[in-house]
């Protein structure tokens, strides 16, 4: 059955309750459950999916509360009329904050958490001291609410139910969408996600805005439900922490996790409060949080969070040729220089890559090979020089744009997305690369490359379950899946046994047969000899030789560089 | 003095070193060469106690140190100059040196050790108060060696000390290593700079893809095609 | 514009408040900067210490002397906490969550034993006040200031000049290399965590001397102490004190010149500013 239908059915089933004479007490209790479902699920969109743990959810909830309070309580608007702004004001606040914070690479992890905590304090202080609240709180008993059910508590029940269904549905859709895959990739390894084509900045802002809007809506409704709002109650510290607790218990990587956690925790707390053990209830909640983080960090639904691959459809992916017509060199690097903290990693490198060739890039350890790949793919900005790809200057471009331009690379130490399956890892670049496919086509593209690298059997597994050589092949499949025009292989062979290496060499040949241009960084010399058309030798950040492999490796300067000078 | 037998160490399913056996005698100067990715750093780290040994035996001066916790290796008489130096960059040169002599065996002799080290590396004496992170590459390498010498080791381990250094500094550094060895400290050196390493060594091992593929005196090895093939492919 | 006397009194109030921020922040900055653990439960421990001081004082003990009992007990708690976090290899973000769980549990405990009512400790210190010119100074506030400065300086001196301190700094930067030179980083980390908890006990006693206690109040300090710790530089023992004094004075002056309610904005705006302008520091 289509998901929308399932949601509507569940919703309809729950919606009849107020009409069946449910006591107001239960309506209010369930209202609270639904409200917390909205808060936890909305929090999870940014914090659970993308990994940016926010401790400031109360700020956006509160912004929604006070948007409704001002418009409804002070200016006489009806609740429904205030809702667009109850969603819009927090969303705007979130986007403004995000626009600044997400640009700063260092503000992740615990710093982001502390920053969002600080934001809550600032917002609450401003609300407290300005005419928005001013101190005495705001009365909302006169705000008119729609008549959806026989009683007011029934109406709130239905409003919260609808909002909860919407939130969980959004969570579900995002989870299964390209957007969601991008967010999960950001969570696992934001730098690599960016290099693979995910527009990380935009996606984070989008998730944040959505999260804030939903929290604000919950706030707007809640303000009228309690009919009297104060700053202390609205921006209380416990809200920010309870949503984290709920999502953590239910499972932050699952679309239904936060909802489940919210239902469990709210019920638990209510049970304790009802039996006069409110204090004990809070202590138990604290204990549960500790136990969950220590023993079950992925939460109750965590183990179910593998998205099942769509059944292998019969779609035949378009022709796999990666050949690029034209005579001019596909990549021209001139005078590239890059220094890290005083160490000159690249000191003016000149390099040309011709179409359809396999170019070997060799040199002793520390010669700058990996740095060169990193600057071309956009990981690091260049200090000086230019990189022209297909006639276009790409030095300084955002990594995801370089990726969609047709450059792909593998990592020397494989960096797969740890919580995405093998198939999803390989399907990611086609989704975000220059061909930008939808999930179905991206997955069938991924299947093709998994077959090519003999990994089809492991498609549903997590990368951690693969051994090193399989992970290297996964890197390869992932890089190939974006149909790059230019492919950088960074020490693909290191750590492999001789027979695994033979397989890899065969693969690289097969890739070349499809017309791709490959830059092959390697230490394993016999592979370099067998595979490459030309070789460039890099030492101390400079090119010292270039030409046909056999000749270059007999060049006395090159031999010196490798084996070291006997005398100065 | 140091006996390694059948060492296996590495990362989970893919061991970086397999079945490695080597010996370092008292006052010996042994070199391990091999291409990148051969497992040299894992080997040295395993001998220094930084990396867990999965199977095999490590015996030092008759004591089985295979299962010793990392902080006890120093007192046994083993000191490490790690790859990339790994100095305490937020601390001064003097403090880095003092920390070298933190171990209970070395602490009583700290003052003398400091004198000795400063005599070996006079340029450090001028920079005692500077933060370690502000030194140049060559100075940092000297400091890393000095720090290890403060521990008064009987076995000095060095992991690719020439990495990123200018040739003149490398020559000076190897001269100092030779001097230290002549004072009676055994040295185990892992290097990519094969020619210099073979000049220095009394004995050498060749490590390739995690296994020892050749061993012998420098003269024996230089004439063998193994090394050239491993590095240059022909 | 308020009178000189009012400004002066505000200044003093700010200094004393800042001293307490510094004292509260000391344990936090050491565990965050050197152990990579963000211990939210530090605040709960401080309040637990305060309540224990209050209780023992009510039984007739000198408040300051109670530390002889409380500090060692807390030391053990600190060691236990670190052992737990290390055993489960809890990452830095998760330490925030786990310690939040402990905070909630401790708060419930405090409320259960001492109820949610406000408690004010009566001590003979509280009765002592001096008049310096136009300004009033009380003994508990002076004691707090003295203890805050003394502990911060003592920790700074230990880290700077003793072998133990150097070992701790080495561990904070590169624990395996420190171990390679004989530093038993596991043991030292446990001891440092114990010390941070003992410092919480000290802060708690000072808190009980100068403020009224209520379980819910512990959350009121989180924001400003975090700000003070981060602005002062993680792991720097003098940082919270200096930043605390600066912020305490700014807050007090803001309160005197504008309105009391704007005071919290000071610390947070500074924190947000510091984070945005130079996040690499952290």
Quick: pLDDT tens for B107-165. Answer: 899 999 999 999 999 988 888 999 998 888 889 999 999 999 999 999 999 998 887 77
d(CA C69, CA B213): 64
**Chain A contacts of B36, Cβ < 8 Å?**
364-365, 494, 523
**Chain A contacts of B168, Cβ < 8 Å?**
568
d(CA A568, CA B73): 36
Q: Mark yes or no for CB contact C102/A286 under 8 Å.
A: yes
Higher-pLDDT residue of A305, C175: C175
Query: Is the minimum CB–CB distance between B84 and chain C shorter than 8 Å?
Result: no
β-strands A486-490, A384-389 pairing: unpaired
Output the pLDDT for position A326.
67
Nearest to A286 among C104, C271, C276 (CB): C104
As beta bridge partners, residue B58 has B4
Q: What is the per-residue DSSP string for A297-365? A: TT-TTGGG-PPPPPP---PPPPP-------SS-SEEEEEEEEEETTEEEEEEEEEEE-TT-EEEEE-ST
**Chain C contacts of B73, Cβ < 8 Å?**
180
The answer to whether the Cα torsion of B110, B111, B116, B121 is positive or negative is positive
**What's the complex ipTM?**
0.88
CB interface of B with A, residues 195-214, below 8 Å? 195-197, 199, 209
* Probe site for chain A from B9, B17, B37 (most A CB atoms < 10 A): B37
**Chain B contacts of C179, Cβ < 8 Å?**
49-50, 70-71
The residue behind tokens 């790809």 is: A389
Output the pLDDT for position A277.
77
Nearest to C109 among A119, A122, A283 (CB): A283
CB-based contact A24:A32 (threshold 8 Å): no
Nearest to B195 among A468, A491, A563 (CB): A563
Output the pLDDT for position A564.
58
> Can you tell me whether residue C135 is helix, strand or coil?
strand
d(CA B116, CA B124): 12
CB-based contact A511:A487 (threshold 8 Å): yes
CB-based contact B94:B101 (threshold 8 Å): no
* Probe site for chain C from B47, B51, B99 (most C CB atoms < 10 A): B99
Q: Mark yes or no for CB contact A564/B193 under 8 Å.
A: yes
Q: Mark yes or no for CB contact C167/B99 under 8 Å.
A: yes
Q: Mark yes or no for CB contact B232/A343 under 8 Å.
A: no
pLDDT band at B220 (very low <50, low <70, confident <90, very high): confident
Query: Is the minimum CB–CB distance between C269 and chain A shorter than 8 Å?
Result: yes
Query: Is the minimum CB–CB distance between B88 and chain C shorter than 8 Å?
Result: yes
Output the pLDDT for position A59.
95
Q: Mark yes or no for CB contact B163/A528 under 8 Å.
A: no
As beta bridge partners, residue A408 has A487
Q: Please name the residue of chain A whose CA is at the shortest distance from the CA of residue B200.
A: A566
d(CA A478, CA B146): 46
β-strands B155-159, B78-81 pairing: parallel
Q: Which residues contact A384 (CB under 8 A, 6 or more apart)?
A: A335, A336, A337, A348
Identify which of B60, B163, C126 has the alpha carbon closest to the alpha carbon of residue A343: B163
Show the tokens assigned to A229. Answer: 């709002």
Domains and CATH numbers, chain B: 1-72+192-234 (3.40.50.300)
Identify which of A414, A285, B140 has the alpha carbon closest to the alpha carbon of residue C108: A285
Nearest to C170 among B99, B103, B106 (CB): B99
d(CA A370, CA A484): 19
CB-based contact A398:A378 (threshold 8 Å): yes
Q: Which residues contact A554 (CB under 8 A, 6 or more apart)?
A: B234
Distance from CA of C101 to the nearest CA of A (A): 4
Q: Write the secondary structure of chain B as one string of H (helix), E (strand) and C (coil).
A: CEEEEEEEEEECCEEEEEEEEEEECCCCEEEEECCCCCCHHHHHHHHHCCCCCCEEEEEECCEECCCCCHHHHHHHCEEEECCCCCCCCCCEHHHHHHHHCCCCCCHHHHHHHHHHHHHHCHHHHCCCCCEHHHCCHHHHHHHHHHHHHHCCCCEEEEECCCCCCCHHHHHHHHHHHHHHHHCCCEEEEEECCHHHHHHHCCEEEEEECCEEEEEECHHHHHHCHHHHHHHHCC
The CA-atom distances, in angstroms, between C83 and each of C53, C76, C101 are 26, 11, 16
**Chain C contacts of B90, Cβ < 8 Å?**
169, 173
CB-based contact C85:C190 (threshold 8 Å): no
- Can you list the residues of chain A whose pLDDT is less than 70? 1, 306-322, 324-327, 342, 366, 495, 562-568
d(CA A435, CA A458): 25
Q: Please name the residue of chain C whose CA is at the shortest distance from the CA of residue A54.
A: C93
Higher-pLDDT residue of A502, C199: C199
As beta bridge partners, residue B155 has B78, B186
d(CA A179, CA A199): 10
Output the pLDDT for position A22.
78
Distance from CA of A264 to the nearest CA of C (A): 17
Residues C87-127 have pLDDT tens digits of 999 988 889 889 988 998 999 999 999 988 888 887 777 77
CB interface of C with A, residues 84-113, below 8 Å? 84, 88, 90, 92-94, 96-98, 100-105, 107-109, 111-112
**Chain A contacts of B193, Cβ < 8 Å?**
563-564
Q: What is the per-residue DSSP string for C220-273? A: HHHHHHHHHHHHH-TT-TTHHHHHHHHHHHHHHHHHHHS-GGGHHHHHHHHHHH
Q: Which residues contact A176 (CB under 8 A, 6 or more apart)?
A: A255, A307, A439
Q: Mark yes or no for CB contact A564/B37 under 8 Å.
A: no
> Can you tell me whether residue C206 is helix, strand or coil?
helix
As beta bridge partners, residue B30 has B188, B203
d(CA C258, CA B134): 46
Identify which of B26, B109, B31 has the alpha carbon closest to the alpha carbon of residue B60: B26
Q: Mark yes or no for CB contact B37/A343 under 8 Å.
A: no
Q: Mark yes or no for CB contact B195/A497 under 8 Å.
A: no
The answer to whether the Cα torsion of A208, A209, A213, A214 is positive or negative is negative
Identify which of C71, C114, C130 has the alpha carbon closest to the alpha carbon of residue C212: C114
> How big is the B-C interface in CB pairs under 8 Å?
66
Output the pLDDT for position A568.
31
Stated as kind and residue range, the H or E segment containing A374 is helix A369-377
Output the pLDDT for position C105.
92
In chain A, % helix, strand, coil (3-state, to 5) comes to 55, 10, 30
Higher-pLDDT residue of C281, C56: C56
Output the pLDDT for position A566.
40
Q: Mark yes or no for CB contact C226/A118 under 8 Å.
A: yes
Q: Please name the residue of chain A whose CA is at the shortest distance from the CA of residue B39.
A: A495
Query: Is the minimum CB–CB distance between A99 and chain C shorter than 8 Å?
Result: no
Q: Mark yes or no for CB contact C94/A121 under 8 Å.
A: no
Residues A206-256 have pLDDT tens digits of 999 999 999 999 999 999 999 899 998 898 877 888 898 899 989 999 999
**Chain A contacts of B231, Cβ < 8 Å?**
525, 562-563
Give the mean pLDDT of C153-180: 94
Output the pLDDT for position C170.
94
Query: Is the minimum CB–CB distance between C36 and chain B shorter than 8 Å?
Result: no
pLDDT of C137 higher than 90: no
Q: Mark yes or no for CB contact C173/B89 under 8 Å.
A: yes
Domains and CATH numbers, chain C: 4-281 (1.10.3470)
Q: Mark yes or no for CB contact A282/C90 under 8 Å.
A: no
d(CA B52, CA B70): 9
Identify which of C12, C45, C89, C14 has the alpha carbon closest to the alpha carbon of residue C245: C14
Q: Mark yes or no for CB contact B99/C176 under 8 Å.
A: no
Query: Is the minimum CB–CB distance between C178 and chain B shorter than 8 Å?
Result: yes
pLDDT of B231 higher than 70: no
Give the mean pLDDT of B24-33: 91
pLDDT of C49 higher than 50: yes
Among A90-99, A240-249, B195-204, C31-40, the minimum mean pLDDT is found in B195-204
pLDDT band at C77 (very low <50, low <70, confident <90, very high): very high
Output the pLDDT for position A309.
65
Output the pLDDT for position B186.
94
CA angle A494/A497/A498 to nearest 5° reads 105
Domains and CATH numbers, chain A: 25-236 (no CATH), 331-563 (3.40.50.300)
Phi and psi angles of residue B189, each rounded to the nearest 5 degrees, phi first: -120, 135
* Probe site for chain A from C80, C92, C104 (most A CB atoms < 10 A): C104
Identify which of C175, C211, C187, C192 has the alpha carbon closest to the alpha carbon of residue C26: C192
CB-based contact B21:B195 (threshold 8 Å): no
Distance from CA of B208 to the nearest CA of C (A): 26
β-strands B203-208, B211-216 pairing: antiparallel
């Amino acid at each position: 059955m289509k998901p929308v239908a399932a949601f509507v059915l569940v919703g309809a089933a729950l919606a009849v309750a107020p009409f069946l004479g449910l006591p107001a007490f239960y309506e209010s209790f369930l209202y609270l459950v639904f409200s917390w479902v909205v808060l936890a699920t909305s929090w999870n969109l940014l914090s659970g999916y993308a990994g940016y743990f926010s401790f400031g959810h109360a700020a956006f909830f509160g912004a929604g509360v006070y948007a409704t309070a001002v418009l409804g309580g002070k200016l006489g608007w009806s609740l429904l009329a205030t809702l667009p702004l109850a969603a819009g004001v927090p969303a705007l606040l979130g986007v403004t904050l995000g626009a600044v914070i997400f640009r700063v690479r260092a503000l992740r992890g615990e710093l982001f958490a502390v920053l969002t905590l600080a934001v809550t304090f600032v917002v609450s202080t401003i609300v407290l001291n300005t005419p928005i609240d001013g101190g005495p709180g705001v009365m909302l008993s006169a705000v008119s609410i729609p008549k959806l059910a026989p009683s007011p508590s029934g109406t709130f029940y239905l409003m919260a139910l609808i909002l909860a269904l919407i939130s969980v549905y959004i969570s579900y859709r995002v989870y299964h969408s390209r957007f969601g895959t991008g967010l999960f990739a950001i969570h696992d390894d934001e730098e690599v996600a960016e290099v693979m084509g995910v527009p990380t900045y935009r996606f984070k802002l989008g998730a944040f805005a959505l999260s804030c809007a939903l929290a604000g809506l919950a706030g707007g409704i809640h303000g009228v439900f309690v009919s009297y709002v104060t700053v202390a109650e609205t921006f209380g510290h416990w809200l920010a922490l309870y949503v984290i607790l709920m999502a953590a218990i239910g499972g932050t990587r699952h679309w239904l996790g936060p909802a489940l956690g919210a239902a469990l925790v709210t019920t638990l707390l209510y049970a304790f409060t009802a039996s006069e053990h409110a204090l004990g209830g809070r202590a138990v909640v604290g204990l549960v949080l500790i136990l969950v983080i220590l023993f079950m960090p992925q939460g109750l639904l965590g183990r179910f969070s593998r998205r099942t691959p769509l059944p292998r459809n019969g779609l035949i992916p378009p022709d796999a040729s990666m050949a690029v017509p034209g005579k001019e060199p596909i990549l021209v690097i001139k005078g590239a220089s890059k220094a890290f903290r005083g160490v000159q990693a690249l000191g003016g490198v000149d390099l040309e890559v011709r179409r359809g060739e396999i170019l070997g890039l060799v040199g002793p350890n520390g010669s700058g090979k990996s740095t060169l790949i990193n600057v071309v793919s956009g990981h690091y900005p260049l200090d000086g020089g230019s990189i022209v790809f297909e006639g276009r200057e790409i030095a300084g471009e955002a990594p995801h744009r370089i990726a969609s331009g047709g450059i792909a690379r593998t990592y020397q130490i494989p960096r797969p997305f740890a919580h995405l399956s093998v198939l999803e890892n390989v399907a990611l670049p086609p989704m975000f690369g220059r061909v930008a496919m939808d999930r179905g086509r991206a997955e069938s593209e991924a299947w093709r490359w998994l077959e090519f690298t003999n990994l089809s059997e492991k498609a549903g597994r997590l990368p951690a379950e693969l051994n090193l050589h399989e992970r290297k092949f996964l890197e390869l499949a992932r890089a190939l899946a974006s149909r790059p025009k230019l492919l950088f292989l960074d020490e693909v062979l290191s750590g492999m046994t001789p027979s695994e290496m033979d397989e890899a060499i065969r693969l690289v040949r097969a890739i070349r047969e499809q017309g791709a241009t490959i830059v092959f960084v390697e230490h394993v010399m016999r592979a370099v000899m067998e595979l490459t058309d030309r070789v460039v030798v890099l030492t101390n950040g400079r090119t010292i030789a270039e030409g046909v492999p056999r000749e270059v490796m007999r060049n006395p300067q090159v031999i010196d560089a490798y084996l070291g000078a006997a005398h100065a | 003095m140091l006996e390694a037998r059948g060492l296996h160490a590495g990362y989970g399913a893919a061991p970086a070193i397999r079945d490695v056996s080597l010996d370092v005698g008292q006052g010996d100067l042994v070199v391990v060469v091999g291409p990148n990715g051969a497992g040299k750093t894992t080997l040295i780290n395993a001998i220094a106690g930084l990396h867990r040994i999965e199977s095999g035996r490590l015996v030092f001066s008759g004591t089985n140190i295979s299962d010793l916790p990392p902080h006890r290796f120093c007192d046994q008489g083993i000191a490490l100059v790690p790859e990339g130096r790994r100095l305490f960059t937020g601390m001064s040169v003097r403090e880095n040196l003092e920390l070298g002599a933190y171990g209970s065996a070395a602490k009583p002799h700290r003052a003398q050790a400091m004198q000795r080290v400063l005599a070996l590396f006079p340029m450090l004496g001028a920079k005692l108060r500077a933060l370690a992170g502000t030194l140049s590459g060559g100075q940092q390498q000297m400091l890393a060696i000095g720090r290890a010498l403060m521990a008064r080791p009987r076995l000095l381990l060095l992991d690719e000390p020439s990495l990123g250094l200018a040739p003149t500094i490398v020559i000076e550094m190897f001269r100092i290593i030779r001097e230290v060895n002549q004072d009676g400290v055994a040295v185990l050196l892992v290097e990519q700079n094969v020619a210099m390493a073979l000049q220095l060594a009394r004995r050498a091992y060749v490590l390739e893809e995690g296994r020892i593929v050749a061993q012998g005196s420098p003269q024996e090895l230089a004439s063998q095609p193994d090394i050239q093939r491993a590095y240059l492919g022909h | 514009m308020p009178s000189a006397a009012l400004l002066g009194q505000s200044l003093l109030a700010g200094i004393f408040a800042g001293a307490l921020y510094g004292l509260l922040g000391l344990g936090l900055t050491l565990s965050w900067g050197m152990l990579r653990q963000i211990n939210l439960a530090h605040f709960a421990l401080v309040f637990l210490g305060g309540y224990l001081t209050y209780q023992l004082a009510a039984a007739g003990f000198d408040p300051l002397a109670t530390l002889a009992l409380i500090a060692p007990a807390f030391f053990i708690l600190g060691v236990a906490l670190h052992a737990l976090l290390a055993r489960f290899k809890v990452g830095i973000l998760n330490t925030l969550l786990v310690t939040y769980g402990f905070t909630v549990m401790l708060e419930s405990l405090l409320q259960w034993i001492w109820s949610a009512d406000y408690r004010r400790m009566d001590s003979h210190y509280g009765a002592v006040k001096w008049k310096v010119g136009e300004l009033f100074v009380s003994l508990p506030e002076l004691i707090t200031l003295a203890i805050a400065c003394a502990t911060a300086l003592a920790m700074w001196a230990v880290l700077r000049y003793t072998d133990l301190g150097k070992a701790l700094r080495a561990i904070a930067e590169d624990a395996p290399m420190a171990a390679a030179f004989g530093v038993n980083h596991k043991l030292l980390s446990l001891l440092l965590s114990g010390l941070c908890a003992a410092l919480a006990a000290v802060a708690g006693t000072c808190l009980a001397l100068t403020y009224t206690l209520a379980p819910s109040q512990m959350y009121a300090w989180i924001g400003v102490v975090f700000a003070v710790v981060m602005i002062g530089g993680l792991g720097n023992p003098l940082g919270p004190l200096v930043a605390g004094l600066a912020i305490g004075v700014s807050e007090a002056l803001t309160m005197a010149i504008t309105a009391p309610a704007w005071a919290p904005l000071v610390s947070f705006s500074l924190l947000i500013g510091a984070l945005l302008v130079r996040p690499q520091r952290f």
